[in-house]
Amino acid sequence: MASASYRQFCPVAMAAEVLCCRWTLLVVRELMMGASHFNDLRRGVPRMSSALLAKRLRELEAAGIVERTRAAGAAEGHVYRLTQAGRELRPIVEAVGAWGQRWVKTEATLRHLDANLLMWDIRRHVHPEPAPAARTTIEFIFCDRPLSERNYWLIVEPACDVDLCTVDPGFEVDLYVSTDLRTLTALWLGHVGWAQASDSGAIRFTGTPERQSALRRWLGTSTFAAVPRAVG
């Protein structure tokens, strides 16, 4: 998979030839997070072209890390899943993420902000417990973003199904969350706390206190937010 072999028998070098191509670990990360269809994978790597994603998937399949099967319906395309070899990469990917959270400086982390990626990551980590009695619609408003990236709707159904819309779904909004992209990203990564962001006015809520409390319970933070940071 690497453009040129290291020509070393060392297992580290051999593994690097498979895993260290650009985007490869991120594709594995998305598969670990449960994405199994091409379009879902694309949402987790929005800056990766479709052609390159298809190429990396073929390479991972050839390396025995990914298996591809035909979906039940002809229109559904293919389903991608990690093989045993791929699943055994989980502690490696988690260790890389923990290292990045611990040692990469905050400014470097927050240099590459992406509203679509952030909201997709938030959506797949939402745990609506207890489940709402009725559909709950939360609108996130990024005041600093262009119109195409300003509004996102998180919809939580009583059956605990969670959906993310980038176009107004037409439902009554139960809670508005107004902030800037940097603040919500910092909250998600655990760099700042909800109380700190709220008290400073960096994030504002419009809705009942009950809805605000539910949002904080459901949202949580990134998988790596609890990793103690060694740098500022």
Q: Are residues 118 and 215 in the same domain?
A: yes
Position 105 in a domain = no
- Residue 97 belongs to some domain of the structure: no
Same domain, 125 and 200: yes
Residues 116 and 206 in one domain: yes
Please check whether residue 177 lies inside any domain of the structure. yes
| Structural domain includes residue 229 | no
Burial class for 35, CB neighbours closer than 10 Å (0-12, 13-18, 19+): buried
Within a domain: residue 225? no
In order along its 232 residues, the chain shows pLDDT tens digits of 555 788 899 999 999 999 999 999 999 999 999 999 999 999 999 999 999 999 999 999 999 999 999 887 656 689 999 999 999 999 999 999 999 999 999 888 898 899 999 999 999 899 998 889 999 999 999 999 999 999 999 999 998 899 999 999 999 999 999 999 999 999 999 999 999 999 999 999 999 999 999 998 998 889 999 999 998 8
Both 45 and 119 in one domain: the answer is: no
199 and 126 belong to one structural domain: yes
Q: Are residues 71 and 167 in the same domain?
A: no
Domain that holds residue 202: 112-219
Instruction: Give the count of domains, the chain.
Output: 2
Q: Do 24 and 58 touch, CB atoms closer than 8 A?
A: no
CA distance 183 to 193: 10
